[in-house]
Amino acid sequence: MNENAEKYMREAMKQARLAAKKGEVPVGAVIVRDGEIIARAYNTRETGKDALCHAEIKAIHRACRKLGGWRLPRCELYVTLEPCPMCAGAIINSRIVSVYYGAHDQKAGAFGTLFDMNDFGLNHKPEIYSGILEEECAGMLSSFFAELRKQRKNASFGKNDEKNKKINNLNEK
């Protein structure tokens, strides 16, 4: 495992915080090559209205542009949440050497939690390191969804109050 894993995961967490500020699920990613961050990204699925706008996909796209090809030799991906099947496929196809992730994804984790893409006979198998700053990464996600639930609950109470006022007004007539 890379001795700088926590350092780079903190950089991915900065990206995740940027996503959260925009109302996106706080997932961030960075790609490192030879000790240098060559790409940074965060989720923009909601604001971009695009199912492909996962942090990993965007970071891979940027790294490919920077290096001038679709292969990412000597590259490591640091991401705050375990990659989903789509992102795991992109990681494998781009030949990323190592993946370091923070929180496990119980609903879509494709590198060990639900299943492991490395168990299939694919042409490339990245090294996987899980649980890097796991509590902090998972905490960001939990806090985000708790706040989202709270906002939705408050919004629904407001709607019910308006509905009740209309009903009461009708009853008074």
Strand locations in 56-164 (E): 75-81, 98-103, 127-129
Q: Rounded CA gap, 28 and 56, in Å?
A: 8
Q: Rounded CA gap, 129 and 118, in Å?
A: 13
Token pair 């590198």: residue = 111
Which of 56, 134, 162, 172 is flagged as catalytic? 56
Please state the φ and ψ torsions of residue 93, each to the nearest 5 degrees: -65, -30
Tell me whether residue 127 is one of the annotated catalytic residues: no
DSSP-derived pairing of the beta strands 36-42 and 75-81: unpaired
Q: Which are the catalytic amino acids? A: 56
